[in-house]
Structure 1
Amino acid sequence: MTDIHGIYPMLYALFGADGGLDPGAHVAQVEACIAAGVHGLAVGGLASECNKLTVEERHALADWTLQAAAGRVPVSVTVSDNTTGGQIATVRRAADSGAAWAVLQPPPVKSASEAALIEFFGTVADAAPIPVGIQNAPEYIGIGLSNAGLIELNRRHPNVRVLKAEGPVMTIARLAEEAGGALTLFNGRNGIELLDSLRNGCAGMIPGVETCDVQSRIYDLHRAGEAGEADAAFREILPLLHFLMSTVDHLLCYGKRLAARRIGLDAVHDRGPATAPHPAGMRTLEHWSRGLGRLGS
């Protein structure tokens, strides 16, 4: 799985004034990310507001992403259907359209046992024609697997080859040690522990769009052994990342507005219910992002 690595920004769902998805804005987002030097693209996850989209809208976002990327970078599609049949159909649809790998979210049943989750994910993975990852984010989704459960899932279903973890570096380090290389690890949380995650077993990150150019450059510096330059570049954006990643709703409010500004979009239209921007929040965002220009320029 050495071909799956680097910075895969999770694309935002961009809405028009009519409340529907804006395909032109989405394609502009894809183009800006590719121009920014990302190593791949991700779509369909929490930052894509999967919980506010219809099945048809989730499919549309994946289709627009794959068509616009046109094979220039690999695309990972997050699958949030609530049944095994739905997830299998979505993974196969994404694979047929050119997705490189898929990430499965757990069904929203917080009382589900670990054995039931392993069975759920395993059924989908065995029917998937592309590599499958798991989003293990109990802090944000409310349900997940233990390290032992993740390792057992991979043992029984080898097509589960990637893990999108959402946790601090010590969680990542312990998982990397216990998995012994069986899983390709990505961290999320908007990259707030980018370098520590890379130094402790991660192959890449799935941050937001708004700093994907800087994070891609930091990743490239790290991979080239330029530790000092990577650390210096990371220190520049760390206050911004911490401000953005207090909650997912907060990120969707302020991160999306920063991404839109950097892409060159005129306005951000929220699909409610959504956190409304506050003047203090906008002032903080402006302060910590003041050095960031047009994305991909």
Structure 2
Amino acid sequence: MKKFYRMEGMFPPLITPFKDSGEIDEKKLKKLINFLLEKGVHGLFIGGSYGSYPLLTMEERKKLAEMVFAEVNERVPVIVQVATPCTAHSVELTKHAADLGAKAVASVYPYYYSAFAYDEKDLLGYFKALVDASDIAVHLYNNPKATGYATSTKFLLKLNEVGVTGLKDSAGDIMLLSEHIREFRNRGIDFSFAIGTTGMLLAGMALGVTGCVAGTANALPELMVELYNTLLKKNLEESAAIQLKVIEVRKLQNIQGFRPVACYSMLKMRGLDMGTCRKPWRELDPENYKIVEQRLRELGLL
């Protein structure tokens, strides 16, 4: 029997606060978790792109997960992203996440070689190993910018055959996402569809998406939760107004070319010091910080 978990709601992909020494700052991490939960997020997605997971060692990834689960204490569901370039390491992280109580694990394709060397059999074998590693659901985190591999509907159906029962889609292609949803629906396959491109949430939920992994929700959880809840009420006019504001914020986050780093500064603007990011990430330069702060004030978000 396939293991299933439907992601429903707004799940911030947690950023990872670091000390100047380079260590994970557990105190600040706890502060961030409680801030997000108080603002009404529906769950947490850890070990993702915003969490700087490729910059963490295996032990740091495990330690980070342990910190999060201890602080969350079952208040909301948690999904753990377990991708590595090595199947055995991803299996190890999957087992660890299951032991901690994760509702599901997610994984991008095993990156680097995925861009030019692997065929479908290699990738199906990787995901089959994750499915066989535990009793929790396995979702594909589709991020072709990071892996160099785009997911067709035909291949997503093959992944489902080996036990993958959900998708976190960050491809930014609403036409392809609609094809995925249509084909699974036509075949009567129960599958969890979540979106990782917040600018497409309005369109995605109209098609049948039930979850959202929104990096912006690290710094502005109220805005993202409001968008999700308004969409649930099918208030199109109000939803569109919020969606346009979210798109404006996402553009602001990209002022330095990389949206995740802006979240550290945006939280600082709100009085929440999240330490620093890990190099080679670079925090917002002073001039960019001022531009973002001023525009957020103009948007009524500070």
1:76 is aligned to 79
Residue 253 of structure 1 corresponds to which residue in structure 2?
Answer: 261
SS of 1:202's partner is: coil
Whether the aligned pair in 1 keeps the contact of 2:254 and 2:262 (CA below 8 Å) is no
Picking from 197, 204, 213, the partner of 1:197 is 204
How far off its partner does 1:285 sit?
Answer: 1.4
- Corresponding position of 1:112: 118
Structure 2 residues without counterparts, runs of 5 or longer = none
Counting matched residue pairs gives 288
Partner of 2:44: 41
1:15 is aligned to 2:9: no
Assess, with a 3 A threshold, how the Cα gap between structure 1 residues 16 and 150 changes in structure 2: closer, same or farther.
Answer: same
2:229 to 220, 243, 247: 220
Counterpart of 2:184? 179
Matched, 1:87 2:100: no
Return the TM-score normalized by structure 1: 0.90
- Correspondent of 2:273 among 255, 266, 278: 266
Deviation (angstroms), 1:183: 2.3
Q: Once the 2 structures are TM-superposed, how far is the Cα of residue 96 of structure 1 from its aligned partner?
A: 1.2
Q: Structure 1 unaligned runs (5+)?
A: none
How far, CA to CA, are the matches of 1:260 and 1:58 in structure 2?
A: 24
Question: Structure 1 residues 245, 142: CA separation in 2 closer, same or farther (over 3 Å shift)?
Answer: farther
Q: Which moved more, 1:61-70 or 1:120-129?
A: 120-129
Aligned equivalents of 1:252 and 1:222: distance in 2?
25
Deviation (angstroms), 1:279: 4.0
Identity, % of aligned pairs? 25
Greater shift in the superposed pair: 281-290 or 60-69: 281-290
For residue 279 of structure 2, what is the amino acid of its counterpart? Answer: G
Q: Note the 1:112-131 alignment, pairs <5 A.
A: 112-131=118-137
The structure 1 residue matched to 2:101, chosen from 98, 109, 120, is: 98
The structure-2 alpha-carbon separation of the partners of 1:204 and 1:56, relative to structure 1 and needing over 3 Å to count, comes to: same
1:241 aligns with 2:244: no
1:146 CA drift (Å):
2.2
TM-score (norm 2): 0.88
**Helix, strand or coil for the counterpart of 1:48?**
coil
Aligned partners of 2:184, 2:255: CA distance in 1, in Å?
Answer: 29
3-state DSSP class of the match of 1:135? strand
Tell me the residue number matched to 2:31: 28
The aligned counterpart of 1:287 is 294
Structure 2 distance, partners of 1:154, 1:3, is: 14
Tell me the equivalent position of 1:163: 167
